């Protein structure tokens, strides 16, 4: 299995390290040709407006959007969650996204999160984090803050967190994503 990590801006190397901890090969994705041979892709945290511009500039947005809408496994953290939700970007999760949703005074914070399916809390690192609201019933909510702010969710082959699992030593979300890829591996590896 080879997992792509979108390498336009943001916390790229941290995801590569997490994949290495899970004994999975990572491939940095900067242009369309790089998509060949990967089995899933991670969209890292960073600045979603910058990553969006670079996706358009590198002509990666449309081919990647097509793949993702065809069922290609994807994991987005923070800005990655924003891009996977915004209709103009990947628009794969039906929900509203509130960028920088936790306000100035709580721009960055850390909190133990209880996540559906995990038997111990997950250490959530939030950095100008977004959250999801008005989540469609097609989306499975995995974690919330304040009852109604969705901070981890899954829609079929798309997994998102508003926080940064790649900044902790905890590989549970990456392992969850790897299992999701394994389930869909009969699907395809893109050859573009
Ligand atoms: N607030 C950023 C955005 O909307 C996301 C921050 C992050 O990825 N740490 O792009």
In terms of residue numbers, what domain contains 146? Answer: 2-185
Q: What are phi and psi of 90, to 5 degrees?
A: -90, -30
Give the number of domains in the chain.
Answer: 1
pTM score, whole prediction: 0.95
User: What integer pLDDT is reported at residue 148 of this predicted model?
Assistant: 93
- Summary mean pLDDT of the chain: 95
User: What integer pLDDT is reported at residue 104 of this predicted model?
Assistant: 74
Whether 166 maps to a domain, the answer reads yes
Whether 30 maps to a domain, the answer reads yes
Is 124 annotated among the ligand-binding residues?
no
Is 47 annotated among the ligand-binding residues?
yes
pLDDT tens, residue by residue, 82-121: 999 999 999 999 999 999 999 876 689 999 999 999 999 9
Give the ipTM of the model, two decimals please: 0.94
Q: With contact defined as beta carbons under 8 Å apart, do 52 and 59 qualify?
A: no
Q: How far is the CA of 189 from the centre of ligand 1 (A)?
A: 29
Per-residue pLDDT at 191 exceeds 90: no
SS percent in the chain: helix, strand, coil, step 5 = 30, 30, 40
Any residues with Cβ below 6 Å from ligand 1, and which? 45-48, 78-79, 82, 99-100, 127-128, 130
Active site residue 164: yes
CATH number, domain containing residue 100: 3.40.50.880
Whether 190 maps to a domain, the answer reads no
Whether 114 maps to a domain, the answer reads yes
Whether 191 maps to a domain, the answer reads no
E strands within 50-139? 74-77, 96-98, 108-113, 122-127, 131-133
Active site residue 22: no
Which atom number of ligand 1 is nearest to the Cα of residue 50?
Answer: 10
Interatomic CA distance for residues 51 and 138, integer angstroms: 26
Q: How far is the CA of 188 from the centre of ligand 1 (A)?
A: 30
Q: Which of 15, 157, 166, 174 is catalytic?
A: 166
Whether 192 maps to a domain, the answer reads no
E strands within the chain? 2-6, 25-29, 40-43, 74-77, 96-98, 108-113, 122-127, 131-133, 140-145, 149-155, 158-161
Whether 125 maps to a domain, the answer reads yes
Q: Residue 74, Cα to own-chain centre: how many angstroms?
A: 6
Six-digit token string for 186:
């009969």
Q: How far is the CA of 43 from the centre of ligand 1 (A)?
A: 12
Q: How confident is the model at residue 73 (pLDDT cuts 50, 70, 90)?
A: very high
């Amino acid at each position: 299995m080879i997992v792509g990590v979108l390498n336009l801006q943001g916390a790229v190397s941290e995801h590569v390290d997490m994949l290495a901890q899970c004994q999975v090969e990572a491939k940095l994705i900067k242009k369309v040709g790089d998509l060949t041979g990967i089995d899933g892709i991670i969209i890292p945290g960073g600045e979603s407006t910058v990553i969006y511009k670079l996706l358009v500039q590198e002509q990666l947005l449309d081919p990647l959007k097509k793949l993702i809408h065809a069922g290609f496994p994807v994991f987005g953290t923070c800005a990655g969650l924003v891009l996977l939700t915004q209709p103009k970007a990947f628009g794969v999760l039906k929900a509203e996204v509130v960028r920088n949703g936790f306000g100035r005074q709580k721009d960055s914070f850390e909190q133990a999160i209880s996540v559906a399916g995990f038997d111990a809390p997950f250490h959530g690192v939030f950095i100008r984090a977004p959250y999801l609201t008005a989540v469609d019933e097609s989306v499975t909510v995995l974690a919330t803050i304040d009852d109604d702010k969705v901070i981890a969710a899954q829609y079929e082959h798309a997994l998102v967190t508003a926080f940064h699992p790649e900044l902790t030593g905890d590989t549970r979300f990456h392992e969850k994503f790897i299992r999701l890829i394994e389930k869909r591996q009969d699907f395809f590896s893109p050859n573009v």
